[in-house]
Amino acid sequence: MMASLSLRPVLARPSLRLASAFHGAGQRHASTLLYVDHKNDKIAGGTLNAVTAAQALKGPVTALVAGGAPDAVAAAVAQIPGIEKVIVAKHEAYAHGLAETLAPLIKAAVEAGKFTHVVAPHSSVPRSVIPRLAALLDVSPISDITAVESENTFRRPIYAGNAIATVESSDPVKVITVRSTAFEAAPTSGGKAATEPAASASTETSTKWLSEEIAKSDRPELGAASVIISGGRGLKNGENFKILYDLADKLGGAVGASRAAVDAGYVANDMQIGQTGKIVAPALYIAVGISGAIQHLAGMKDSKTIVAINKDPEAPIFAVADYGLVGDLFEAVPEMTKKL
């Protein structure tokens, strides 16, 4: 494997001398550090999907759980089959996902464990932390991968998902974030990993975390929902989103929105689906009053079945929809809710 690497002189790092002196540097086996995103004592942000991507690298997987009170999450992570070890970093400085403290922590863990890969979900905390970590390690990170081709070759979407690049890394440590919708979630029971404390790292930072405001909802999380009803400018105002909530409740689904609906102030930012919002791939995606701009399609076109309800028969959304209904959403959506 890795023909391009075998052309290089063998420069064995001290830690690799035994393994690589006779077989070339390319023979180094993958060993992966998984960064666990979590919130309120729950594994979060596509971490379970990142586990599946980490396992595709074929080496042993060690999980890192850092936080102010990480013990419950560490215990849950230890149950995931395929995780060999859980290292736990407990400190108030890790409580709020600040990259200034988490990046040095992960760097220390990589050095202590001699990991060849760092894998994290492409959720908001790792999106801040992982590039900073890569800079500290002097390597090029690989964002938002959708496939693992080999331990150094990955696929990732570029241009809002309108092209797929296959990229090859020659860095000693591959630092990767994973698009959750491209990998199945790993099971959460059956494993029995041992836990141990993380290597110590500086917890100093001049950044102060002050507060947060999290939108509360009884409906499933957008990233995890199997049905998503999404509204756009066609909804006309925030109150009208109620007809989408009614349909979502009937289907046990979540409600999303286009950027147009968010910018118009109909709904909160965290509901936005698209290149600059969330990427989703539910079993059923119902786009209501959404024209289907490139940036919106980037966030949902991998959904298994797409339905479009729009009064404009020329709307680009119909080009990706499996089933299209040209009509007035204010009649069609309530009718659908009633008939289901």
* Binding region for FAD: 233, 258-259, 272-276, 289-296, 310
| Residue 141 in tokens | 């990170």
**Which residue, 78 or 309, has its beta carbon nearer to another protein?**
309
The dihedral of CA 59, 122, 295, 222: what is its sign?
positive
Element at 112 (helix H, strand E): helix 99-113
Residues in contact with 213: Cβ distance below 8 Å, sequence separation at least 6, in sequence order: none
Smallest gap from residue 19 Cβ to another protein (A): 22
Angle at 104 between CA 101 and CA 108, to 5 degrees: 135
**Which residue, 179 or 186, has its beta carbon nearer to another protein?**
179
Q: Which residues are annotated as a binding site?
A: 233, 258-259, 272-276, 289-296, 310
Smallest gap from residue 22 Cβ to another protein (A): 25
The single residue listed with the structure tokens 């800079």 is 135
Smallest gap from residue 84 Cβ to another protein (A): 28
| Burial degree of 249 (CB within 10 A; 0-12, 13-18, 19+) | middle
| Burial degree of 136 (CB within 10 A; 0-12, 13-18, 19+) | middle
Smallest gap from residue 318 Cβ to another protein (A): 7
Q: How many residues does the chain have?
A: 340
| Residue 67 in tokens | 């936080």
DSSP state of 272: B
Smallest gap from residue 96 Cβ to another protein (A): 7
Query: Is residue 178 within 8 Å of 50, Cβ to Cβ?
Result: yes
Element at 64 (helix H, strand E): strand 61-67
**Which residue, 45 or 256, has its beta carbon nearer to another protein?**
45
**Which residue, 56 or 193, has its beta carbon nearer to another protein?**
56
**Which residue, 78 or 315, has its beta carbon nearer to another protein?**
315
**Which residue, 193 or 278, has its beta carbon nearer to another protein?**
278
Smallest gap from residue 191 Cβ to another protein (A): 25
- Kind of pairing between the strands at 153-158 and 147-150: antiparallel
